Chains A and B, each alone.
Chain A
Amino acid sequence: MADVGINRVSRRDFLRAGLVFGAGAAGLAAGYAAVPDVFTRAVYAAKKDGRSNDRVLVMVQLAGGNDGLQTVIPLRDGAYRDLRPRLSKAADAAMPIDQTFGLNKQLTGLKSLWDQGKVAIVQGVGYERPSGSHFDSIRVWETGDPARRQVEGWLGKTIAKNYDSAGHPLVGCACGATGVPGALRDLEATLTVINARQSFKFVGGDEMERAAGALYTSTPGIYGALFDTSVATARDTVAQLRTAASKYVPKATYTDNVRLPISSKNQLAAALQLAAELIVTGTGAKILHVTLGGFDTHYTQEARHDGLLGYLDSAVSAFYEDVSAYGMADRVMVATWSEFGRRPRENASAGTDHGTAAPLMLIGDPVKGGLYGEAPSLRDLDRAGNQKYTVDFRSVYQEILDSHLGVDPREVLDESFERLAFTRVPVSRNGSAMIAVAAG
């Protein structure tokens, strides 16, 4: 495509400019790292290629702290009913997945995938000395570091260490967001953020697009490199989406905004449809991130939480169906995460306060379905009345990195954790079935 060609030229010009001030880039990075509030992407990106297989990861953030006990529900636990006299009604309507647990009644699509062996549920996921703060705990999950020494996101680091994101800006993409999520941040990774598919174009047309590219070249100042990569990435992405549009029609019905729960700002269905489009049109998308907010259910939880789970279920189901119809379901793993679960004892407002450990789900053809880990006892709570975690969340990250993406997890997590073998056919790390990232 001519547009892509033009963009590549300008990208090279841009990189050359980066080299002129190359010494500055490292200094720039160091300057930002000293201030957690400020991050940027360096003007050059890691160029380590290889290790590219055709696997894709879609992370779904359930922001606010998803209530695990109302998601994977204990069916016959007296303690559950004692702690939650009102909310435990959910157990009666739950869809059993074994003798002990049932899925929330809203998760019908996921239950069907569970029956096909395509959903892994890891129970009791958390970390040592858990934080009750949304922001602190989100940071722990995003950086994969309960010691809070890391600034870079675990997915950003994965991209920086393994993929040529400067040449292929859709390698890491936040769909339905306006900013780079913390999990994707890394000084050396180029990330794309696409808020809304339809409006992602220059209203001033080609003239304005070229003007923007010319304006944002070697921009001075502490934000200069970030401005320039963002505008260059926007241009690349516009070109990619233009090409993709001719190759993609959704092959599933995504629920539209009408069903968006009022408590969430995030249009998950639209974001996942965009993710599917990026995957099936061969844009080189590797790690995608979407968010569904509204899980901070301190009051009148039942209807809100049910609404959110229903929306999650229909969006993820449509995404799976769509990707399957394009024959690519064997490549794609969806993984949910949330900063914490909720307090087992319900509060006076028929809601729940901040908790600790919770189950998370891995969904897709690459997944070996089943229950993993151990559900923490409701009769042995910590001093704050919260559950004691049984699985370190980095065990989940490790399996995703090692067996799904086929990259070295130690480069990202620094340590090794207990193996959770929820991947059906682990990919080989030395690159069997290698396909270039930018193929297609």
Chain B
Amino acid sequence: MGMEKQPRTRSLPPVDRRAVLGAAIAGGAGVAAARLLGLRRTVEVDAPQLTAEAVAKRSGLDWVSPLGDEATRVTHLLRRTGFGYTPAELEIALADGYQRTVDRLIETPPAEPPDLAGAEDASQAKGLRVVDLQSWWMDWAIRTPTPFAEVMTLFWHGHFTSDFRKVGLQSPYVYWQARTWRRFFLRDLRSILYEVTLDPAMLRYLDLSQSTGANPNENYARELMELYTMGSGSFTEDDVRSASRALAGWREPRTRAMVDAQIADTIKRTGSAPPRPPVADTVKTGVFERGRAYGGPDLTFLGVRRKWDTNSVLDRILEQESVAPFITRKVLFHFVGPEIEEATVTRFAERFRKSRHDMRTLMHDVLTSPEFTSPGAYRALVRSPIDFMVATAKALENPQLAKTAPASGEAMGQVLFDPPSVGGWPSNASWISSSTMLARINFATAAVNQTRKVPSASDAHAQFLDSTLSPQTLAMLNAVNDDRKRWAVVLCCAEFQLK
């Protein structure tokens, strides 16, 4: 559908070029760029506030950071903690101001999504459809009153990965995991890790439920240390072998529906019910069976020789110096920017470790740090495809886009419940290629076309792009004169791909 087919709406007022030019030659100290602090409607002139180091790294055309302004700090905060925002969410946050908004984001517990019909009863007899799971999450990501919880849920999904291909959809495991990961939100890492280890989808995804003390499977033990807590190079192959023995003994839980389907299947195949029918479990986590666990001599794990079990393995991992910097680094790259000094990592990691790995402490530190709102942090991150699609739906105030979003994510490189590997999704520059840019532009074009009644676009550049525009974006906005075309430019431009 070409945009020219859309009916014309009223003409929009031009965006004032003098007011909004948001890019300047960063290297040219003293080169002033005018921009409009759009939300406040006041015009201010200032020079780019880049450090000498940042200038050296990026001499070229750079965004002029508007983060000196409280209102723009608020939009910056909402973009990074909420997959974009609706006009209503923006209004509340602007009224509250930066600090109160940070407190609210961190202190408000995650709102739970509604139940997905049929998900609890998924079994061999009736499996889930992955697109239903994906739309269920996308819908909640758009509509939730606690957007930060959705950002953290996706963060944990990309960190403690599982995928529907290996876990399968003939159980509620994937659905349970999505709900469990949301409840993690900003808890302490130790309690999170225990739930991750016993999570049924995880037990299957990384084969811990296949592992026995006598004949261990190394998959979970390795990734627990390499990808989830310590990072590569901070443990040995012997540690992997010891941990794989020490962690063995868990099996997957069986629901009533799974047991019933299994019995029905046996009757269908053999003509009679199994002599010892399986019993349904009451828990939604792994079930420990001592007979499958390790019963041999003491093992050496991370330098200590003793008897080990799941709890003591996790405790020992959290005693490692490498954990706090590893998690902190990931959080800083995810929420602050791609260029983080090691000294900065150390500073945050120190407090994170002292808080006994409390994510609330870490995240509060990050969101209130000078780094988070430094000029170098402005538009330093590329929105992930999920972020971009949810932000589009919120800007257009069209939650119906949750239905088409799952199919669109693939060409952009991100499909929920299907990370590319156990390492999760890549970030930033890895989101940008010929394929993904085409897919983003196509999604935005289609989203505008599919929205029956688009909101007025006359303030969209101020509300969603901080009135900080490249000359090309400014020119394109002024070259089109109806709401749909303006929206297409706003959603397709580089400014909206960034946060």
Which residues does A use to contact B, with CB under 8 Å?
Answer: 21, 23-25, 27-28, 30-32, 34-35, 37-40, 63-64, 131-136, 169, 174, 177-180, 191-196, 199-208, 211-212, 214-227, 230-231, 233-234, 237-238, 262-265, 293-294, 296, 298-299, 347-349, 351, 353-354, 384
Contact = CB atoms under 8 A, between A and B. Distances in A.
A266 to B, nearest CB: 10
Nearest to A194: B435
Interface of B: 1-4, 22-23, 25, 27, 56-63, 165-166, 206-207, 210-212, 214-219, 222, 226, 232, 237, 240, 333, 338-339, 379-380, 382, 410-413, 418, 420-423, 426-439, 441-442, 445-446, 470-473, 475-476, 488-489, 492-494, 497-498
A265 B488 CA distance: 31
A44 to B, nearest CB: 13
Q: Most chain-A CB neighbours within 10 Å: which of B240, B333, B379, B429?
A: B429
Nearest to B475: A214
Contacts of A202: 438, 441-442, 445
A425 to B, nearest CB: 34
B252 to A, nearest CB: 12
Contacts of A191: 433-434
A23 to B, nearest CB: 6
Q: Is the interface of A mostly helix, strand, loop or mixed?
A: loop
A32 to B, nearest CB: 7
Nearest to A211: B476
B472 A349 contact: no
B494 A230 contact: no
A28 B445 contact: no
B445 A193 contact: no
Contact of B214 (A23, A35, A299, A348): A348
A225 B60 CA distance: 10
B435 A178 contact: yes
Contacts of A177: 435
A265 B432 contact: no
B488 A211 contact: yes
A230 B445 contact: no
Contacts of B433: 174, 178-180, 191, 193, 230
B217 A353 contact: yes
A136 B4 CA distance: 49
B199 to A, nearest CB: 17
Contact of A179 (B25, B436, B445): B436
Contacts of B428: 37-38, 223
Nearest to B55: A27
A399 to B, nearest CB: 29
Given A199-B411, A214-B475, A217-B472, A136 B232 contact: yes
A100 to B, nearest CB: 29
A157 to B, nearest CB: 18
Given A24-B59, A180-B433, A354-B218, A214 B438 contact: no
B1 A203 contact: yes
A329 to B, nearest CB: 28
Nearest to B437: A230
A63 B422 CA distance: 12
Nearest to A21: B60
A136 B422 CA distance: 13
Given A28-B57, A238-B438, 15 more contacts: A27-B60, A37-B333, A133-B226, A178-B435, A199-B439, A205-B3, A207-B4, A216-B437, A221-B23, A226-B432, A227-B497, A347-B210, A349-B207, A349-B217, A351-B207
A230 B240 contact: no
Contacts of A134: 421-423
